[in-house]
Amino acid sequence: MAADPSAAAGQSSEDEAAAFFRSAPPLRDRDRVAGELSEFVTRHSAATGRGGGGLAGVVCITSGGTTVPLEQRCVRYIDNFSSGQRGAASTEYFLKAGYAVIFIYRRGSKQPYCRFLPEDSFLDFFELGEESEIKVPDSHAMVVKTAISNYRKAIDEGLLLKLPFTTIFEYLQLLQMASTAMNCLGHHGMFYLAAAVSDFYVPWESMAKHKIESASGPLNMQLNQVPKMLFILRKRWAPSSFCVSFKLETDPDILLQKAEVALRKYGMNVVVANELANYKDVVVMVTGNGRTTVVRRPSKEDDVEEQLIHLLVKMHSEHIVQLNQHHHALQELI
């Protein structure tokens, strides 16, 4: 009998993933993070779907770029561009739609409810009043107050768990931990993988220990491919979850084709395709049933994420209803 080539590809992905995790420096605070994830998922698991009160689901949102260290004592690294604007905005809309959110974000990237605030010197937003009380100029008072109040609400109600990362090693360990913790949620769990993850890395053990010398001549580097973890997430970590991944390209001619390939190859429910030139204004949702283009209406909307999350929440709840109907039909047959 001939070997199944897709099974062989799967096995090789799993071997590569295992090698990656063996090589990675272990996450600091791993136990604390595991505890927080377990507590968060358990608390919301009861309230999700099956007879529970009101929670639409639990979504794990990843956001920002990953860094790839080039030296063990890291001075230089390779980075992927991402402000984290999409992940931060989407977190706000998922919370508004009744989800609990695990927000896995790059340190320093945009935060939910902060994205309309100035980037560098928030001091420009504040003044001292006559009795040295802290004031915000009237022009910005509403946006700052709304931000503080919405953020406080999400934190106080325990609906937002924030977990930071910097390197590709930290990111993939956090994703693995969140996925396996969320596995118990079944199809009520959702992944919204908006982080810009590096495709290449230098294995920790083959990395320069000290700062690479710049004394003489050009620098030659060889980088390995990062294992395709979406494949493992789908197959092992949380196989029943609803999975949304992103595809960013600079060349529009190959974008949709690559999104279709990713959809099939990794068994995603949705691949959101976007171009670097206009990713803030247009995205295409690629699914097994076709494509839906979402365009920001400039005069009416601040961002494209509001519509996108609205459509994804609808798809996710239809997906849950369908799976529940299948489940009931099966039970009646038995």
User: Which of these, 65, 45, 71, lies nearest to 57 by C-alpha position?
Assistant: 45
Kindly indicate which of the ranges 37-45, 52-60, 104-112, 321-329 contains the residues binding a second copy, using the contact rule CB under 8 A: 104-112
292: left (phi over 0), alpha (psi -120 to 50) or beta: beta
**CB closer to a second copy, 97 vs 114:** 114
User: Which of these, 272, 37, 320, 273, lies nearest to 175 by C-alpha position?
Assistant: 37
The number of residues in the chain equals: 334
**CB closer to a second copy, 47 vs 223:** 223
CB of residue 243 to a second copy, shortest distance in Å: 20
Evaluate whether 197 touches 80 at the Cβ level (below 8 Å): yes
Judged by CB under 8 A, the number of residues near a second copy is 65
Local structure of residue 196 (DSSP, 8 states): B
**CB closer to a second copy, 25 vs 122:** 122
CB of residue 34 to a second copy, shortest distance in Å: 21
**CB closer to a second copy, 84 vs 186:** 84
β 200-201/189-193 pair status:
unpaired
Kindly indicate which of the ranges 10-18, 38-46, 69-77, 308-316 contains the residues binding a second copy, using the contact rule CB under 8 A: 69-77
Kindly indicate which of the ranges 12-20, 43-51, 142-150, 178-186 contains the residues binding a second copy, using the contact rule CB under 8 A: 142-150
Q: How far apart are CA 67 and CA 109, in angstroms?
A: 13
Q: How far apart are CA 296 and CA 309, in angstroms?
A: 13
Interacting residues with a second copy between 218 and 237 (CB under 8 A) = 218-225
Taking the CB of residue 246, how many other CB atoms lie within 10 A of it? 24
CB of residue 229 to a second copy, shortest distance in Å: 13
Taking the CB of residue 272, how many other CB atoms lie within 10 A of it? 24
**CB closer to a second copy, 149 vs 322:** 149
Contact between 136 and a second copy by CB under 8 A: the answer reads yes
Contact between 119 and a second copy by CB under 8 A: the answer reads yes
CB of residue 253 to a second copy, shortest distance in Å: 10
Evaluate whether 33 touches 164 at the Cβ level (below 8 Å): no
Kindly indicate which of the ranges 178-186, 243-251, 285-293, 301-309 contains the residues binding a second copy, using the contact rule CB under 8 A: 243-251
Q: Residue 191 class from Cβ within 10 Å (0-12 exposed, 13-18 middle, 19+ buried)?
A: buried
Residue 319 to residues 41, 241, 277, 326, Cα–Cα distance (Å): 20, 10, 32, 11
Contact between 194 and a second copy by CB under 8 A: the answer reads no
Q: How far apart are CA 162 and CA 172, in angstroms?
A: 15
- Looking at residue 122, its amino acid is F
**CB closer to a second copy, 235 vs 265:** 265
CB of residue 240 to a second copy, shortest distance in Å: 28
**CB closer to a second copy, 8 vs 321:** 8
CB of residue 33 to a second copy, shortest distance in Å: 16
β 290-295/282-287 pair status:
antiparallel
Choose, by CB under 8 A, the member of 96, 162, 235, 310 that binds a second copy.
162
**CB closer to a second copy, 112 vs 186:** 112
Mapped onto helix, strand or coil, the DSSP state of residue 295 is: strand
Q: Which residues bind a second copy (CB under 8 A)?
A: 67, 70-71, 73-81, 105, 107-108, 111, 113-114, 117, 119-123, 126-128, 132-136, 141, 144-145, 147-149, 151-152, 162, 164, 196, 198-200, 209-211, 214, 217-225, 248-251, 276-277
